[in-house]
């Protein structure tokens, strides 16, 4: 069966089958044609059918070619008159021979149809047709993000967009682009909110330019740029996670932002991006996108990996400080998702009209009153479309009532809340953005409020990112959240960012909100303390027994001493303690905090060698403190009190000598318990 017969089948079935055009074609079994080619043929034929109907009717080819059906005539005429390659059939094929016999007459009628529409050129006619078929898409320009990993805005203005007229408003970009002489006017707007983003005139094909093929420019809706820009990852924020990354626009936007702030030299500690996608097919798209954008050097793709299954306490995620989450949603804000243009069917021949049976293989259209038949077709299409909800990943769900819609939205919101709460548990995380391409409050403000009310957010100190704390472009964006959907909380509603289709800003429907963690509450309220723990709740340690800190993802490090310091300690322990400004206890090299065991007892310097720690008994700790207090006594105290102090110091020295004899026993005891949860502990750390 030829491409055109399969296309006729799709068009005949469109009035009775539910679902989108893409799902009906790409989900169709036993087709011989390439799905992409079949989809393009059917869609473009529908888009041009109002003109093609006039051409076919005026040429009267259906009355001449008795075996040619109206829908087949539409498909063949489209490719003959409008496709660059002409009819996609062998020269001797019957259908091609039939339609090409009438090429001169059809071409002449196409010219007349163009002039009736007052289009000075085919380019102008094409723009008219595109606008008529676009619907809500006519209100949105082509958004292009300049990939600063590979180029600059200035470079692209001098190359790819050379000769474009710079304008200052969306309305100017959307104005008709064909001048009276039939020439194409090209306009460009540098966006005032998102850096390195431009809007250009509709209908300009940049997909074949060098800039697009090399990844210098990326097609990305303005609203889709909100999450990464709002997150604004800085080098001090540590590593970044994109939890639902495919197809990769937001991931590569994150990469471009991080790249602009990278140091001149790279180390193992350089900022990384972890991009997760559980669907393997979409993971391939993500991997390709990352490579084209040039960010593969610092982007780690979790191929086929579910973000919700990732262990936040894993060593490789210890420095993750910023997360971007754009989970699956209803996709209700997406513009022009598979909008099916109206199909105009030519008048059939009397012979064809008398045959009311529609040939499945030939795709014959019902020959009844055109207006009534057209209306019935449109009603059937609208009913079929209204019963199917297509999410942002292209998955379809049958929705027959408001109750079904609410159930679907609640299911999506449950998943969205789950992934958000999981993200809040990353130990070093300080900020996070949550976004959807949905206009429904159930997926947006309601989810935000549930997160803020959650136990994990309260315990770890997460709160909404206030509008005053947002980057300038997002702070200036005028469309904010719905107060009534935030329980009347004005501050939370003002912190949420929205956009709507057809609101005059040239973007799709979108929602984004940011969360930040102050950090001061975290360690105070975290019962697990400052250390990383495994699934059993046990502290994770290195081979020497040192625990891993949540804040750094590395084991605790002790400051080693050289041999001269050890000799000095052996010669005069008391003198060393008097001269050491840090006192007699072992302290952390970075924070200066005293290292203690699980009972709170400090470790003595003079009883420790590098890598070996020995606790002191409570009595000894008290006596050490007494020693320091005694040394601070005034020299003018009465002779009787000084004698008492000397006696007490002698007593302390005797105890110290006794204690040294038990060093080996205490070290053995520590080594036996060093790998268990009762080993060394820390105090005084703040995240």
Q: Do you know the residue count of the chain? A: 687
Q: What DSSP element (H or E) covers 510?
A: strand 510-517
Report how far residue 231's alpha carbon sits from residue 223's, in angstroms, rounded to the nearest whole number. 14
Q: What DSSP letter does each residue of 399-462 carry, written as one string?
A: --SHHHHHHHHHHHHHHHHHHHHHHTT-TT--EEEEEES---GGGTHHHHHHHHTSHHHHHHTE
Q: Which residues pair with 514 in a beta bridge?
A: 433
437 is catalytic: yes
Block residue for tokens 């309260």: 458
pLDDT score of 166: 96
Q: Which two tokens stand for residue 398?
A: 């049958």
Q: Which two tokens stand for residue 453?
A: 């009310």
Secondary structure (3-state) at 287: helix
Inter-residue contact 506 to 197 (CB < 8 Å)? no
Q: In degrees rounded to 5, what are phi and psi of residue 104?
A: -60, -45
Q: How far is CA 501 from the centre of its chain?
A: 20
- Among 53-67, 417-431, 578-592, 643-657, the range with the most confident prediction by mean pLDDT is 417-431
Inter-residue contact 325 to 423 (CB < 8 Å)? yes
The answer on pLDDT for 429 being more than 50 is: yes
Averaged confidence pLDDT in the chain: 80
pLDDT score of 282: 92
Inter-residue contact 238 to 178 (CB < 8 Å)? no
pLDDT band for 203, please (50, 70, 90 cuts). confident
pLDDT score of 658: 46
The answer on pLDDT for 17 being more than 50 is: yes
b/e sequence 274-294, b meaning 16+ C-beta within 10 Å: bbbbbeeebbbebbebbebbb
Inter-residue contact 416 to 436 (CB < 8 Å)? yes
Block residue for tokens 């605790």: 556
Neighbours of 145 (CB within 10 A): 25
Report how far residue 433's alpha carbon sits from residue 656's, in angstroms, rounded to the nearest whole number. 57
Is residue 415 exposed (0-12), middle (13-18) or buried (19+ Cβ within 10 Å)? middle
Percent of the chain at pLDDT > 70 equals 72
- Which is more confident, 316 or 543? 316
Tell me the HSE value of 642 on the side-chain side, using a 13 A CA sphere.
6
Q: What DSSP letter does each residue of 150-182 carry, written as one string?
A: T--HHHHHHTTTTTPEEESSHHHHHS--B-TTS
Q: Which two tokens stand for residue 503?
A: 């609101």
| pLDDT tens sequence across 333-380 | 998 765 678 889 998 644 333 333 333 333 333 333 344 444 444 344
- Which is more confident, 111 or 350? 111
Q: In degrees rounded to 5, what are phi and psi of residue 625?
A: -65, -40
Report how far residue 329's alpha carbon sits from residue 326's, in angstroms, rounded to the nearest whole number. 9
b/e sequence 596-622, b meaning 16+ C-beta within 10 Å: bbeeeebbbbbbbeeeebbbbeeebbe
Q: Are strands 239-242 and 273-277 parallel, antiparallel or unpaired?
A: parallel
Residues in CB range of 481: below 8 A, 6 or more apart: 444, 445, 448, 492, 493, 494, 495, 496, 497, 498, 511, 513
- Among 212-221, 587-596, 622-631, the range with the most confident prediction by mean pLDDT is 212-221
Q: Which two tokens stand for residue 378?
A: 């449109």
| CA proximity to 150, closest of 213, 98, 202, 206 | 213
Mean pLDDT is lowest, of 388-397, 566-575, 581-590, for 566-575
CA angle 314, 234, 272 (to 5 degrees): 40
Query: What is the rounded radius of gyration, in angstroms, for the C-alpha atoms of the chain?
Result: 36
Q: Which two tokens stand for residue 520?
A: 């001061």
b/e sequence 302-341, b meaning 16+ C-beta within 10 Å: beebebbebebbeeebbbbbbbbbbbbbbbbbbbebbbbb
Q: Which two tokens stand for residue 73?
A: 């005539």
Report how far residue 362's alpha carbon sits from residue 5's, in angstroms, rounded to the nearest whole number. 6
Report how far residue 96's alpha carbon sits from residue 90's, in angstroms, rounded to the nearest whole number. 7
Cis peptide leading into residue 329 (ω within 30°) = no
Q: What DSSP element (H or E) covers 464?
A: strand 462-464
pLDDT band for 75, please (50, 70, 90 cuts). very high
Mean pLDDT is lowest, of 81-85, 248-252, 488-492, 578-582, for 578-582
Distance separating the N- and C-terminal Cα atoms of the chain? 67
Select which of 225, 437, 486, 496 is catalytic.
437
| pLDDT tens sequence across 302-344 | 999 999 999 999 999 999 999 999 999 999 999 876 567 888 9
Q: What is the pTM of this model?
A: 0.65
The answer on pLDDT for 45 being more than 80 is: yes
Q: Which two tokens stand for residue 252?
A: 């590569």
Q: Are strands 197-200 and 142-146 parallel, antiparallel or unpaired?
A: antiparallel
Secondary structure (3-state) at 314: coil
Report how far residue 613's alpha carbon sits from residue 680's, in angstroms, rounded to the nearest whole number. 9
The answer on pLDDT for 178 being more than 80 is: no
């Amino acid at each position: 069966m030829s491409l055109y017969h399969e296309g006729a089948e799709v068009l005949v079935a469109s009035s009775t089958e539910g679902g989108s055009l893409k799902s009906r074609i790409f989900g169709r079994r036993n087709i011989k044609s390439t799905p992409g080619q079949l989809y393009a043929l059917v869609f473009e034929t529908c888009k041009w059918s109002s003109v093609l109907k006039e051409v076919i009717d005026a040429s009267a080819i259906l009355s001449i070619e008795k075996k040619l059906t109206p829908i087949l005539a539409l498909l063949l005429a489209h490719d003959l008159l409008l496709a660059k390659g002409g009819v996609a059939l062998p020269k001797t094929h019957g259908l091609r021979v039939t339609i090409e016999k009438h090429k001169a007459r059809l071409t002449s009628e196409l010219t007349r149809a163009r002039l009736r529409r007052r289009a000075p050129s085919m380019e102008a006619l094409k723009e008219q047709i595109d606008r008529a078929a676009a619907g809500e898409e006519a209100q949105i320009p082509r958004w292009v993000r300049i990939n600063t990993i590979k180029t600059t805005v200035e470079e692209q203005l001098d190359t790819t967009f050379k000769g474009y007229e710079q304008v200052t408003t969306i309305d100017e970009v959307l104005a008709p682009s064909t001048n009276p002489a039939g020439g194409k006017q090209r306009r460009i707007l540098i966006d005032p909110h998102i850096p390195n983003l431009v809007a250009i005139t509709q209908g300009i094909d940049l997909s074949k330019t060098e800039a697009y093929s090399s990844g210098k420019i990326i097609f990305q809706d303005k609203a889709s740029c909100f999450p990464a820009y709002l997150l604004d990852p800085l080098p001090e924020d540590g590593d970044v996670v994109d939890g639902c990354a495919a197809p990769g626009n937001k991931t590569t936007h994150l990469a471009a932002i991080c790249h602009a702030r990278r140091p001149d030299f790279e180390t193992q500690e350089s900022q990384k991006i972890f991009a997760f996608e559980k669907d393997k097919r979409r993971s391939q798209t993500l991997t390709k996108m990352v490579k084209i954008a040039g960010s593969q050097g610092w982007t780690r793709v979790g191929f086929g990996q579910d973000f919700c299954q990732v262990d936040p306490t894993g060593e490789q995620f210890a420095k993750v400080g910023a997360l971007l989450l754009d989970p699956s949603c209803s996709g209700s804000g997406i513009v022009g998702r598979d909008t099916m243009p109206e199909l105009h069917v030519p008048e059939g021949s009397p012979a064809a009209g008398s045959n009311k049976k529609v040939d499945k293989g030939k795709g014959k259209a019902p020959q009844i009153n055109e207006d009534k038949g057209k209306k019935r077709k449109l009603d059937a299409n609208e009913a079929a479309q209204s019963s199917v909800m297509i999410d942002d990943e292209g998955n379809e769900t049958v929705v027959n009532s408001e109750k079904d819609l609410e159930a679907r939205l609640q299911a999506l919101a449950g998943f969205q809340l789950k992934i958000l709460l999981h993200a809040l548990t990353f130990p070093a995380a300080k900020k996070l953005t949550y976004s959807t391409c949905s206009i429904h409050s159930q997926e947006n403000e309601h989810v935000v409020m549930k997160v803020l009310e959650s136990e994990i957010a309260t315990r770890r100190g997460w709160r909404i990112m206030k509008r005053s704390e947002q980057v300038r472009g997002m702070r200036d964006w005028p469309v904010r959240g719905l107060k009534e959907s935030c329980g009347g909380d004005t501050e939370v509603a003002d912190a949420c960012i929205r956009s709507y289709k057809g609101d005059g800003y040239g973007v799709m429907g979108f929602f984004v909100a940011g969360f930040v963690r102050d950090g001061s509450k975290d360690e105070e309220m975290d019962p697990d303390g400052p250390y990383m723990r495994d699934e059993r709740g046990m502290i994770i340690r290195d081979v020497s027994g040192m625990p891993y800190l949540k804040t750094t993802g590395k084991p605790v490090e002790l400051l080693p001493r050289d041999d001269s310091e050890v000799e000095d300690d052996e010669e005069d322990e008391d003198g060393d303690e008097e001269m050491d400004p840090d006192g007699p206890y072992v302290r952390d090299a970075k924070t200066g905090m005293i290292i203690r065991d699980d009972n709170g007892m400090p470790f003595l310097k003079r009883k420790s060698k590098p890598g070996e720690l020995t606790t002191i008994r409570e009595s000894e700790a008290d006596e050490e403190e007494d020693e320091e207090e005694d040394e601070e006594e005034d020299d003018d105290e009465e002779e009787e009190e000084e004698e008492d102090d000397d006696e007490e110091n002698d007593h302390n020295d005797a105890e110290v000598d006794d204690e040294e004899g038990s060093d080996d026993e205490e070290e053995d005891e520590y080594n036996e318990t060093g790998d268990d949860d009762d080993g060394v502990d820390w105090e005084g750390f703040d995240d």
